[in-house]
Amino acid sequence: MEPSNETTVSEFFLLEVTQDAELQPVLFSLFLSMYLVTVLGNLLILLAVISDSHLHTPMYLFLSNLSLTDICLSTATVPKMLANIQTRSQSITYAGCLTQMYFVLISATLENFLLAVMAYDRYVAICDPLRYTVIMNFRLCGLLILLSLSISIMDTLLHDLMVLRLSFCADLEIPLFFCEVVQVIKLACSDTLINNILIYFAAGVFGGVPLSGIIFSYTQIASSVLRMASASGKYKAFSTCGSHLSVVSFFYGTGLGVYVSSVFTHSPRKTAVASMMYTVVTPMMNPFIYSLRNRDMAEAIRKLVGRIPSFP
């Protein structure tokens, strides 16, 4: 690549949500509403877990951390998109892009680990119920959360530091509504071999290992449930996993959608829409899934809302 094609990076340019001026207010209202629902819904789950002593269990401890992660993921992307729609400017500073990339990556990685830890919790509860309280003690739960967070932070910092060493070309347009590490690396003029190796390695280890753990856990759960003689016992066992399975399916389903759209389509807008499902819609849906499919959570939220004073 010629040196004249390189530039000192001061800002990147994100994909425009829409070029139709009449649609911009509509989309602004839509995304603002989705963001508010995401934040309020996940905060309700967090407050319900804190306020209801019946929910002071490992499963709901992990769920409250998942809600915090969803708030972080949505906050990393939506406010900047709203600001760009309002100002009709698609620019984002270099520092802002790296910061957004950091929080998107750490949130996605941490959610991946939390879903695996929650699957392990359900595995112990169903396959080894007599030793559940001994195995899933709060010390182990705290260590699992701390380990998940530490790995996510180190992995994300490494990706960000590896991006800092790159020089970029004159074309600084990112074909997404937010900064994402793979798309940022594609804009570099310098050698990105190490960055790409790191991305594939991290995806294989920090994505593949938790997913394998989830699949293994639910394989063992299904095998254990099918051996139960009581139909009511089978239903109760599967019902305790329903919410988590729905969230897992939505998380990995939308993530797979982003990958498939980027590989098999050449339309940046289709890939951007798929990535929006992953980073905007999924965090919004999780509170609905848990409040609708989980009776204990629904009851705790109802009690919490009932204690909120109403003003004339």
* DSSP track, 104-149: HHHHHHHHHHHHHHHHHHHHHHHHSGGGHHHHT-HHHHHHHHHHHH
Give, in order, the Cα–Cα distances in Å from 91 to each of 11, 19, 67, 115, 178.
6, 15, 29, 34, 10
What type of residue is 12? F
- Band (pLDDT 50/70/90 cuts) for residue 264 is low
For the chain, give the mean pLDDT.
86
What type of residue is 116? A
pLDDT of residue 242: 80
Mean pLDDT, rounded, for 141-157: 95
Mean pLDDT, rounded, for 77-96: 90
Using one digit for the tens of pLDDT, what is the confidence trace for 117-139? 999 999 999 988 899 999 999 89
Q: Rounded to 5 degrees, what are φ and ψ at 309? A: -70, 140
Decide if domain 11-306 falls under CATH 3.40.50.720. Answer: no
When comparing pLDDT for 234 and 111, which is higher?
Answer: 111
Q: Considering the chain, what percentage of its residues have pLDDT values greater than 90? A: 42
Give the predicted TM-score (pTM) of the model: 0.89
Domain ranges in the chain? 11-306
Q: Which two tokens stand for residue 188?
A: 């570099």
Task: Give the range among 94-98, 186-190, 251-255 with minimum mean pLDDT.
Answer: 251-255
What are the beta bridge partners of residue 91?
Answer: 13
pLDDT of residue 112: 94
* DSSP track, 181-220: HHHHHHTBSS--HHHHHHHHHHIIIIIHHHHHHHHHHHHH
